[in-house]
Structure 1
Amino acid sequence: MAITDIQEYAHLTDSDIEELGREFDAIRREIEASRGQRDARYIRNTIRLQRGLEIGGRAVLFGSRKRPAWLLGSAMLGAAKIIENMELGHNVMHGQWDWMNDPEVHSTTWEWDNVGPSAHWKQTHNYIHHKYTNVLGMDDDVGYGLLRVTRDQRWSPFFIGNPVYNVILQMFFEYGVAIQHLELGKVAKGRVDKAEFAEKRNDVLRKIGKQVAKDYVVYPALTGPAWKSTMSANFTANVIRNVWTNMIIFCGHFPDGAEKFTKQDLENESQGQWYLRQMLGSANIDGGPVLDFMSGNLSYQIEHHLYPDLPSNRLAEIAVRVRAIAEKYDLPYTSGTLPVQYAQSWRTILKLAVPNKYLIANADDAPETASERKFGGNAVTTVDPATGRRLGLVTANAKGKRGPLALWREQRQRRRVEARVEPFVPRRHSDAADSARSA
């Protein structure tokens, strides 16, 4: 199922990983040393743009009873909220601009336009998600406690609703982010201190109250007779922001090639191994400057996970060097267009709504789930004697690719073998047993 030995999976030796770590460390040092006025100018210009869009959008909504004004105001406000959450809030709270010592753009002072309290998000995202990226049982972003996105998650009838849950999560993503820190699953099992939970819950409720009052009471009231249309425009702007944010995050974490890991990978993990896990567990989105900016530069999700606290405007130049390192070690550099990455994420969500037995491909070699076991113990890097080129994970994956028809035939043959071995155990009974064990 998920990767249990990342070094073996990556076809790298101990010395390879040490050298990989040194090369990534060198990139960090160079970028840190070169931060300066152009970076400060970038973030301040971004703040001006975002505030201009928000003020302009809210001004246009005074005429929101007319359709063109409603559409323009909703679009401007939606864009302002996207920029505030993605390029500003997300990145400022990562500490990307703390080096400026400017309290306006410091991770300790920024409170974003979102129903989730900044302090909560920094704990679940900066510490847990970025430290334990895609580690099953550690990173709650793997499915957000709601979706089945890897075959390692035991199937239950609940997951039949995977597609519906994701549509709801998209539309109200900010609420999903706010609820995530409350760890309601642990609360239901009595594994969270009641006083601690009450404090967190009250923080969330207070923040929700402020956001609801701002978007659905105060600003609509200011537009007088247009209050109803202004309220609907504000709701639309929030949905625009939520859906876009969800799309970008899912494209960075759930398309084919964004690998999952086990807790076993964390044992005595070195800095080089951490870099390697971040690289293999993330995916980029191919696009232009507009997509980069509107995604908070999370179109460079690989680079962001390698260097979460380096300025987002520098990720494009970092990406050139990271891609070169990937080629040097014959490692995958997962990247694709927004439609492709998003379609792959949705395909995973749709097909994992059903039990594994109905799926094509081996659980160790599926598009959304892979492990070192698919190489059968033969995961050693070799060198092409003709070219001197390293032949590692990318080459091994290319050799092992099979078409859908071959995968279907393999699965059919496996089922026939299973039927001969256990002819008296009905598959329906087996499913019931699995459900009982899951319960």
Structure 2
Amino acid sequence: MTATTAHLTRADYEAIARELDAIRDEVAGDLGERDAAYIHRIIRLQRGLEIAGRAMLLASSLPPAWIAGTATLAFAKILENMEIGHNVMHGQWDWMRDSKIHSTTWEWDNVSPAEQWKHSHNFVHHTFTNILGKDNDVGYGILRVTPEQEWHWANIPQPVYNTLLAMFFEYGVALHDLELNKILEGTNDPEETAAKLRAIGRKIRRQWGKDYLAFPLLSGPQFLATLGANFTANVTRNVWAHMVIFCGHFPGDIEVFEEGRLEDETKGEWYVRQLLGSANISGGPFLHLMTGNLSHQIEHHLFPDLPSNRYAEIAPRVRALCEKYDLPYHTGSLAKQVGSTWKKIFRYALPGPRGVVPSPSPKAPAEHPVAA
């Protein structure tokens, strides 16, 4: 229990779980042809953009072709990672029973092996969202993003760390499942770590072979220009993905929790933890598409396996539920969320304030009235 949820009773949590379960069941029961058509359309768009971008880069020595080809390729890579890869690997489209668009078969255009990402993200992060010591996404192991994290002198240059992390975000994601803290503590399984490193190495060779060798060679005398274009497209995709993900997890009044909260946590309490630990980005359809609909991070954390194209229609109902139970619904423009996130990164690079995460309190009596 936190100050934000002190007014909620056991009956409130049970009611919240029932209402959110009902939303999920309703949407899941309504999935059909229009949803399948959506993901097929996005995949065709992404592949068309990638072909167009790479075709333009065959003439990459010409500045207009370089700029247009790089921008188009970056757009294609963002779509593949955000709206397709991330969501397919979450199992959002498994209901279609299409082996080509399935969480067990999809390998994304990224140096992070899909299997490792699914463990660190789908299981660890979404199960233990914002639990200090359990959710490695809180600061990604190198950033202090909340006063509840202990300050160390190494945090001082974290704005620089974060800039580099943004530029090379796919590599940070690739290393995430290694759990570097365990390696440094000597508590990891050396054989498992070695196997993961080999998988990462294979994926890096595959990605580098494609972007930094095969396609530049195809452009002949434009080899260096095409290589630079592919590098730029990858960095652009990395910076965008980093920005979207950080804006969904670190801005404003996003809350973190101590591990004791997990003890006997009910489904309603899990739902509320997702609400308090996530933030949305307000905007139009194009922004939502480019973020992989992670601009609806709250809805994604509540329903990670529902197709992303449904989050926009779910969002007003979730917001109404938050108002009903007097819970915050964190949202804001992209500029606001980016500014808020970077403000935290600069502020918590310095010592203090030292926050205290309250321990779970006994459940309040069920007779307390539901918030209006």
* Category of TM-score, reference length = shorter chain: over 0.9
Contact 1:163 1:350 in 2 (8 A): yes
Letter in 1 for 2:201: L
2:83 aligned with 1:87? yes
Pick closer, same or farther for the CA change 1:278–1:381 going to 2, 3 Å.
farther
In the alignment, is residue 270 of structure 1 matched against residue 270 of structure 2? no
- Structure 1: distance between partners of 2:4 and 2:251: 22
After superposing the two structures, state which structure 1 stretch, 108-117 or 319-328, moved more: 319-328
Is the aligned partner of 1:288 residue 2:284?
yes
Pairing 1:110–2:106 present: yes
Q: Which residue of 2 aligns with 1:238?
A: 234
Q: Which residue of 2 aligns with 1:64?
A: 60
Cα distance in structure 1, aligned partners of 2:222 and 2:128: 47
Alignment partner, residue 161 of structure 2: 165
**Greater Cα offset, 145-154 or 105-114:** 145-154
RMSD: 1.9
237, 242, 247: which one aligns with 2:243 = 247
1:135 aligns with 2:131: yes
In the alignment, which residue of structure 2 is the partner of 1:420?
none
Rounded Cα–Cα distance in structure 1 between residues aligned with 2:146 and 2:88: 31
Measure the CA separation in 1 of the matches of 2:232 and 2:6: 44
Residue type matched to 1:17 in 2? Y
Q: Distance between the aligned counterparts of 1:10 and 1:131, measured in 2?
A: 23
Look up the SS of the partner of 1:103 in the other structure.
coil
1:16-69 deviations in whole A, cap 9, x for unaligned?
Answer: 000110000000110011000000000000000000000000000011101111
C-alpha distance in 2, partners of 1:381/1:8? 19
8 A Cα contact 1:9 1:372, kept in partner: no
Contact 1:54–1:80 (CA under 8 A) maintained in structure 2: yes
Task: Return the alpha-carbon distance in structure 1 between the equivalents of residues 9 and 96 of structure 2.
Answer: 39
In the alignment, structure 2 segments of 5+ residues that lack a partner are: none
The 5 Å alignment of 1:195-234 reads: 195-234=191-230
Determine the C-alpha separation between the residues in 2 that align with 1:185 and 1:32. Answer: 38
1:188 alignment counterpart: 184
AA aligned to 2:238 is N
Counterpart Cα distance in 1 of 2:282 and 2:221: 44
Say which one has the larger Rg: 1
The structure with higher relative contact order (CA 8 Å, sep 6+) is 2
1:194–1:382 Cα change, 3 Å? closer
1:382 Cα deviation from its structure 2 partner:
8.5
Cα deviation, residue 154, structure 1:
1.0
**Are 2:258 and 2:358, in contact at CA under 8 Å, matched by a contact in 1?**
no
> Quick one: which of 9, 19, 24 aligns to 2:20?
24
Distance change in 2, residues 1:268/1:149 (3 Å): same
Q: Secondary structure at the match of 2:132?
A: coil
- Which residue identity does 1:363 align to in structure 2? G
Give the whole-Å Cα distance in 2 for the aligned partners of 1:123 and 1:205.
18
2: CA distance between counterparts of 1:118 and 1:31? 27
Counterpart residue type for residue 152 of structure 2: S
- Quote the Cα distance in structure 1 between the aligned partners of 2:137 and 2:244: 13
Partners in 2 of 1:140 and 1:272 — Cα distance?
Answer: 23
Aligned to 2:7: 11
Q: Are 1:363 and 2:324 counterparts?
A: no
SS, match of residue 156 in structure 2: helix
The CA deviation at 1:184 is: 2.1
Q: Deviations over 1:340-393 (max 9, x none)?
A: 00100000000101100xx5xx836xxxxx7689xxxx9x9998xxxxx947xx
Measure how far apart 1:8 and its partner are: 7.1
Quote the residue 1:326 is aligned against. Answer: 322
Residue 258 of structure 1 and its aligned partner are, at CA, apart by 1.4
Taking structure 1 as the reference length, the TM-score comes to 0.81
**Matched residues in 2 for 1:119 and 1:382: separation?**
45
Separation of aligned partners in 1, 2:324 and 2:227? 54
1:306 alignment partner AA: L
Task: Note if 1:41 corresponds to 2:60.
Answer: no
Q: 1:100 aligns with which of 96, 109, 130?
A: 96
Matching residue of 1:303: 299
Paired residue total: 368
The equivalent of 1:259 in structure 2 is 255
| Unpaired stretches in structure 1, ≥5 consecutive residues | 365-369, 384-388, 392-439
Contact kept? 1:296, 1:312, Cα under 8 Å: yes
Percent of aligned pairs with the same residue? 56
Alpha-carbon deviations, 1:286-309, whole Å to 9, x = none? 000000000000000000000000
3-state DSSP of counterpart to 2:140: coil
Alpha-carbon distance, 1:167 to partner: 0.2
Cα distance in structure 2, aligned partners of 1:33 and 1:174? 35
Alpha-carbon displacement from aligned partner over 1:251-307 (angstroms, at most 9, x marks no partner): 000001211111111111111111110011100000000000000000000000000
Counterpart of 1:151 in 2: which secondary structure?
A: coil
In structure 1, distance between residues paired with 2:6 and 2:319:
16
Amino acid paired to 1:76: T
Q: Distance in 2 between matches of 1:46 and 1:10?
A: 43
SS state of the match for residue 281, structure 2? Answer: strand
Amino acid at match of 2:208: V
